[in-house]
Amino acid sequence: MNYIDLRSDTVTKPTPEMREAMAEAEVGDDVYMDDPTVNKLQEKAAIMLGKQDALFVPSGTMGNLLALLVHCQRGDEVIVGDQSHIYMNEAGGMSALGGVHPHPLANQRDGTLALDDIRASIQTEDVHHTITRLVCIENTQNVCGGIPLSAEYTTQVGRIAKENNLLFHIDGARIFNAAAALNVDVKELTAPADSVMFCLSKGLVSPVGSILVGTKKFINSARHLRKMLGGGMRQAGVLAAAGLISLEKMYTRLGQDHARAKKLFEGLKQVNGLVLDAAEGISTNMVYFNLTDEVKLSVDQIIDEMKKRGVLVDWAGPRRFRLVTHYWVDDAGVEKTLKAFEELLQSTAQKDHL
Ligand code: TLP
């Protein structure tokens, strides 16, 4: 069956154009830094994000880890959101591999870390304390609803970091979604940060890969650590060729994914048994909702029933779902999903009634 796959935007398979570019890619040995396609991708990414240099890495997780390891010494402290991917979903890499101590702050409903919380969490000089070294934000903030964080907010975080001699990293896995939703050049969102990671393999549709950007010195250190972690990628131009198409063509179409997510959001609002997260609406490619108590099906049963109807969905909590739109979800896919949810929840309501 041709499934509508809404589990994540990480599921995006390469487009025919990408597959062709990958087949024809000029390659070299990237550990010698002579893969021309990787070099071109890195140069382009650095320019687009307004930084001196860039490094192609296998995953967002590795990109974030490299940033943390380059910025911090063992025992240093990092301010992170308690709902951030770095804190929750990267297997504790910063602690396990870097001896880096996370200081989690509550993510606000709008995805931000409250500026006063950041200020208050910076350790004072004291023999008992760790040294606060780095502050991290996530844009878009995934778990809070795929929320884009504004350039103004990012600038304020950057200011606090500077005033307190902290470094500033952005997990920008979906920063191009944020830029599209806010209608700003992505550079405005990255300017205050010392380093930014973004993913090619999510809404930008590439099969594999993320990019880390920062100063030349930072990227040289990150390249060294990437090698240490086994991430020297040799003829990676085959993958970078798809990445170039992501940066040339894919980021300009993200608004379409956002419009479809809105349609999904509006449609699901009408379905009995679902409570959508953001009453005021959504602005990127994610729709989060909970099941009401009236729905007797478990999330696993819903996943199975939706699959039978040709739609793949994934849970985000014991009674919670996240649906993500992307390149391979068209208007018909949105309609099919809405129909499947309506049918499923209506039919279970009837069964409950009997
Ligand atoms: N997120 C994935 C899952 O790991 C949850 C998803 O489906 O959303 N930062 C953010 C904000 C992310 O959402 C992700 C992946 C990453 C980093 C890590 O990227 P990868 O999967 O390339 O290591």
Q: Write out pLDDT tens, residues 150-192.
A: 999 999 999 999 999 999 999 999 999 999 999 999 999 999 9
Say which CATH superfamily domain 4-9+253-353 falls into: Aspartate Aminotransferase, domain 1 (3.90.1150.10)
The CB of 10 under 6 Å from ligand 1? The reply is yes
- Give the chain's count of helices (H) and strands (E): 14, 13
pLDDT, average across residues 87-102: 97
* Res. 354 pLDDT band, cuts 50 70 90: very low
Residue burial 116-142, b: 16+ Cβ < 10 Å; e: rest: eebeebbbeeeeeeeebbbbbbbbbbb
Q: Which atom of ligand 1 is nearest to the CA of 7?
A: 7
103-110, Cβ contacts within 8 angstroms, sequence gap of 24 or more: 103/77, 103/78, 103/79, 103/130, 103/132, 104/80, 105/79, 105/80, 105/81, 106/81, 106/82, 107/81, 107/82, 107/83, 107/141, 107/143, 107/144, 108/144, 109/144, 110/144, 110/147
Q: What's the confidence (pLDDT) of residue 64?
A: 98
Question: How far apart are the CA of 283 and the centre of ligand 1, in A?
Answer: 19
Q: What's the confidence (pLDDT) of residue 348?
A: 65
Q: pLDDT higher for 351 or 330?
A: 330
* Res. 350 pLDDT band, cuts 50 70 90: low
Question: How far apart are the CA of 124 and the centre of ligand 1, in A?
Answer: 33
The CB of 173 under 6 Å from ligand 1? The reply is yes
Q: What's the confidence (pLDDT) of residue 280?
A: 77
**Atom 6 of ligand 1, residue of closest alpha carbon:** 8
Taking residue 42's Cβ as centre, other Cβ atoms within 10 Å add up to 23
* Res. 351 pLDDT band, cuts 50 70 90: low
Mean pLDDT, the chain, integer: 96
**Atom 20 of ligand 1, residue of closest alpha carbon:** 60
Peptide bond connecting 10 to the previous residue in cis, omega within 30 degrees of 0:
no
**For residue 153, what are its two tokens?**
């907010």
E-state strands within 150-200? 167-171, 195-199
Question: How far apart are the CA of 60 and the centre of ligand 1, in A?
Answer: 6
Q: Which atom of ligand 1 is nearest to the CA of 89?
A: 4
The CATH number given to 12-249 is 3.40.640.10
Q: What's the confidence (pLDDT) of residue 305?
A: 97
The CB of 84 under 6 Å from ligand 1? The reply is no
Domain boundaries along the sequence of the chain: 4-9+253-353, 12-249
The CB of 30 under 6 Å from ligand 1? The reply is no
The CB of 210 under 6 Å from ligand 1? The reply is yes
Do the bridges between strand 76-81 and strand 101-105 make them parallel or antiparallel, or are there none, so unpaired?
parallel
Tens of pLDDT, residues 276-297: 998 778 999 999 999 999 999 9
Pocket test for ligand 1, best of 142, 171, 321 (most atoms within 8 A of CB): 142
Closest CA to 318 of 293, 299, 305, 332: 299
**Atom 17 of ligand 1, residue of closest alpha carbon:** 60
SS3 at position 210: strand
Is a pLDDT exceeding 90 seen at residue 346? no
Q: What's the confidence (pLDDT) of residue 352?
A: 58
The CB of 5 under 6 Å from ligand 1? The reply is no
Tens of pLDDT, residues 210-232: 999 999 999 999 999 999 999 99
Tens of pLDDT, residues 44-79: 999 999 999 999 999 999 999 999 999 999 999 999
pLDDT, average across residues 251-276: 96
Tens of pLDDT, residues 121-147: 999 999 999 999 999 999 999 999 999
Q: What's the confidence (pLDDT) of residue 278?
A: 81
User: Burial of 112 by CB count in 10 Å (0-12 exposed, 13-18 middle, 19+ buried)?
Assistant: buried
